[in-house]
Structure 1
């Protein structure tokens, strides 16, 4: 066991016991979180307005407190931003994580309380280190520094003394000093607002540092890593950082990028650990790197509910952990120590295990194609892309898909706009495998495709190199937590991309 891992395991042994407890007694721990949360909530105007008190039951909570999205909660959040106290959480909220979400253009301001910082976001980061160090005692992942490519680290002052910015900025400004000794880049570089300038500065500084791990969104880190190789003239990242051994990733599926990272870091010693965290909270982490599912973290000040995706417009059908099933797509609903009450975060998940509770992210409640009743979700798309790549030797850099709407007597279909790092050996075979796999994993899609009843075969458009990057830059969405929308039920994004591709 490396010295750093020995120290981490010793320091966080108490956390390992706590994690083991919620593995064995999940509902006991969740009910404790519920009681703690409603104790805080009972002091707020929001609870008083809905007639819910400190000693109410879970069932009463579900009857009285409505399921909401950001738009429904926005009036209360705007009041909190203006400095009003005891609206959604006791006292005054000083920080707000600014997020546009995956596909929206309007900014959201997610309240970040001291409790959510300490008990959720920081605890999640520590648990990533703890769990990895315990499971990989010989790894050198924490012997050097962690390179973190987050969003803009600038905080903007709002009214009443509050500050807003990317979650990464709020975390860095509130983190203990020892965290700064373990991470790169420096604060000065992290504060650079322009993504391309930031990447150049990171290359100049970090090519000379001992980087043993890195963290962030796979797509944007891939841009940084490729630029690092251009800057140094090396063939792979091990020539730059010989002890590189861990990538902590999240935000988008890692599946389309896995082979590209293996090429950049050609060693079996490299580990990839997925986390599920967002501005709204830290939810899950991959505790077993041999599987693709993640352990749901149950003692972070979050009470979970799950609404079957088929019942998306019937919130009364939401269930607690006690009643979830494996193999069902659920929209996730959270009540948090950040003052979000029965908040539908917009992600969909599927349980792969109930003892302990493990999940995988399947998509977004607003990111799908269902123009013809086919109900294609991101999980379907990821599986189809992976199968098409395996059949043709392709490596996909980015992709998005949208419906082709019926015109006159013409039938509908799907259009896939795909940018390759390595092109397929046979473009037609790639499209055929995409279609075939979608039919295998989605019976609704298969029914619509049967004998071209409703849907014609998908149309594949091969993007020019850099098309997605140019599109994101035109929208001022480079870097950080900005993500390419994989699926859309209209043609807004794909038509913009097609126009850029033709330019």
Structure 2
């Protein structure tokens, strides 16, 4: 009786926002112009706002003229100042939290500012909306009869003098969750923020297998690792034997397509619903608002102003950028955001394609650069090329061409990256080459390093030596010899890998 009362009260409190969501679905331009006006007004006396004359911005056209399109390297000096405790740099007041994200060409990791406004008006507002939308889709839900399983990242205290923190976004969110969320979550904050992943997972398992868990949220690769540990430890056939009332898995961060079959084995039948979100260190952008997977609703009133650049016109970004209300279906766009954490016309590197424009529903199509992100590792082409160079230097090898992609979980262990490398001159020690490649990737990319920790999510790379002319023959088979045609160095799927491996047989 008490559980039903709690469930109904929380459900009612979470659904009041649905009318506002319907409003921005209908009037995207009106809402986004309001968001832009409020962002500019709030930040006009910051250092960045003064430098770019925010006081003179009265329209989107003024904003577009006054404020440059930037990437992380362009604003890193401002972020460094904010991390040192300076006030009013990119956003009013002091920013105390910085989400540690994957590396760029210059740094091992990026540090994305997360203001209190971003926590409250973006991330936590999105969390409430996510549950409100879920209850509207499944009104008979008994979600709050049980607990929500969470596995956070690690948070490191950076500077005791100014009180700034950096760590995984999930850790920052958990550290600041409101009391009602903490009350309905498991494990407690102390365990959720343990920095040693193996220790954390063991403690999470020990506690949660005795609890009534009805939902879980997180990146599929980490939750799959934990699920496999539970099955090994308890001897159950699937997780419904542990959590019979599990009904919701909220996922994001990487494509769920490679994991869907594996999770359906973990939770057989149709009792578990899957809800996709688009959440990043830079902000919470979208929530699946339909029962059918595949389309995500762009959330327009979270203190984020959206612009778009057609991917094929990135070289002329300033000329071809458009506001979100001019989006067209079927076009591959690079995302540009201005946020209530002080990111201004910032390119996070994601690309999206809209399937509808009223409301604005989209799917994530990839990154603006070559990458592998099947397990949340965000391995970029610069990382790969630098690691290859290091391995060649150490083993006196020369590489003619290469490609790499994901090797997915096979149900019995971790995933991996699979490489096919055609050598001009073979390494004096092939095993050493592979080891150096892996070690250099770990040094260059903190997210890859985290996934490689004790082989929990990623095993050591699987590396094949390609026969002579493999890549040439593949291009020839595609009628792509000459010109600008080349074999993609990194792919986030196995299509190219499998074609090349078939040619090697």
Q: Calculate the TM-score normalised by the size of structure 2.
A: 0.75
Structure 2 residue aligned with 1:389: none
Asked whether the 8 Å contact 2:370–2:490 carries over to 1, the reply is: no
Structure 2 residue aligned with 1:246: 248
- CA offsets per residue over residues 272-294 of structure 1, 9 Å max, x none? 00110111110000011213110
**Secondary structure of the residue that 2:143 maps to in structure 1?**
coil
**Secondary structure of the residue that 1:344 maps to in structure 2?**
coil
Pairwise CA distance, 1:416: 4.7
Structure 2 residue aligned with 1:477: 450
Pairwise CA distance, 1:492: 13
Aligned counterparts, 1:453-464, within 5 A: none
Q: 1:263 to 1:412 in 2, by over 3 A?
A: same
**Secondary structure of the residue that 1:147 maps to in structure 2?**
strand
Aligned counterparts, 1:78-97, within 5 A: 78-97=80-99
In the alignment, the residues of structure 1 paired with residue 215 and residue 105 of structure 2 have an alpha-carbon distance, to the nearest angstrom, of 29
Pairwise CA distance, 1:157: 3.5
Structure 2 residue aligned with 1:497: none
Query: Is structure 2 residue 407 aligned with structure 1 residue 418?
Result: yes
Q: 1:9 to 1:158 in 2, by over 3 A?
A: same
Aligned counterparts, 1:141-156, within 5 A: 141-156=143-158
Pairwise CA distance, 1:302: 0.4
Aligned counterparts, 1:429-448, within 5 A: none
Aligned-residue RMSD, C-alpha: 3.6
Structure 2 residue aligned with 1:115: 117
Structure 1 residue aligned with 2:299: 297
- CA offsets per residue over residues 167-193 of structure 1, 9 Å max, x none? 222222222222111111122222321
Structure 2 residue aligned with 1:357: 360
Q: 1:170 to 1:359 in 2, by over 3 A?
A: same
Moved more, 301-310 or 146-155: 146-155
Structure 1 residue aligned with 2:32: 30
Asked whether the 8 Å contact 1:334–1:344 carries over to 2, the reply is: yes
Asked whether the 8 Å contact 1:308–1:329 carries over to 2, the reply is: yes
Aligned counterparts, 1:48-127, within 5 A: 48-53=50-55, 55-100=57-102, 106-127=108-129
| Selected match of 1:323 from 304, 323, 326 | 326
- CA offsets per residue over residues 465-500 of structure 1, 9 Å max, x none? xxx9xx9799631399x9989xx9547999xxxxxx
Unaligned runs of 5+ in 2: 389-398, 413-437, 462-486, 494-505
Asked whether the 8 Å contact 2:44–2:53 carries over to 1, the reply is: no
In the alignment, the residues of structure 2 paired with residue 108 and residue 118 of structure 1 have an alpha-carbon distance, to the nearest angstrom, of 22
| Selected match of 1:286 from 281, 285, 288 | 288
Structure 2 residue aligned with 1:434: none
Pairwise CA distance, 1:6: 3.0
Structure 2 residue aligned with 1:264: 266
Structure 2 residue aligned with 1:344: 347
In the alignment, the residues of structure 1 paired with residue 10 and residue 324 of structure 2 have an alpha-carbon distance, to the nearest angstrom, of 31
In the alignment, the residues of structure 2 paired with residue 289 and residue 474 of structure 1 have an alpha-carbon distance, to the nearest angstrom, of 31
In the alignment, the residues of structure 2 paired with residue 14 and residue 419 of structure 1 have an alpha-carbon distance, to the nearest angstrom, of 41
Aligned counterparts, 1:9-28, within 5 A: 9-28=11-30
Asked whether the 8 Å contact 1:401–1:417 carries over to 2, the reply is: no
**Secondary structure of the residue that 2:75 maps to in structure 1?**
helix
Regions of 4+ moved over 4 Å: 1-5, 101-105, 396-405, 410-417, 471-475, 482-485, 488-494
**Secondary structure of the residue that 2:253 maps to in structure 1?**
coil
**Secondary structure of the residue that 1:287 maps to in structure 2?**
coil
Structure 1 residue aligned with 2:140: 138
- CA offsets per residue over residues 120-157 of structure 1, 9 Å max, x none? 01101111111101211112233211111221145444
Unaligned runs of 5+ in 1: 369-376, 383-395, 424-467, 495-503
**Secondary structure of the residue that 2:449 maps to in structure 1?**
coil
**Secondary structure of the residue that 2:307 maps to in structure 1?**
strand
Q: 1:491 to 1:126 in 2, by over 3 A?
A: closer
In the alignment, the residues of structure 1 paired with residue 44 and residue 196 of structure 2 have an alpha-carbon distance, to the nearest angstrom, of 43
In the alignment, the residues of structure 1 paired with residue 25 and residue 379 of structure 2 have an alpha-carbon distance, to the nearest angstrom, of 37
In the alignment, the residues of structure 2 paired with residue 417 and residue 345 of structure 1 have an alpha-carbon distance, to the nearest angstrom, of 22
How many residue pairs match? The answer is 419
Asked whether the 8 Å contact 1:98–1:165 carries over to 2, the reply is: yes
| Selected match of 2:199 from 184, 197, 200 | 197
In the alignment, the residues of structure 1 paired with residue 280 and residue 324 of structure 2 have an alpha-carbon distance, to the nearest angstrom, of 20
In the alignment, the residues of structure 2 paired with residue 127 and residue 28 of structure 1 have an alpha-carbon distance, to the nearest angstrom, of 20
Asked whether the 8 Å contact 1:399–1:416 carries over to 2, the reply is: no
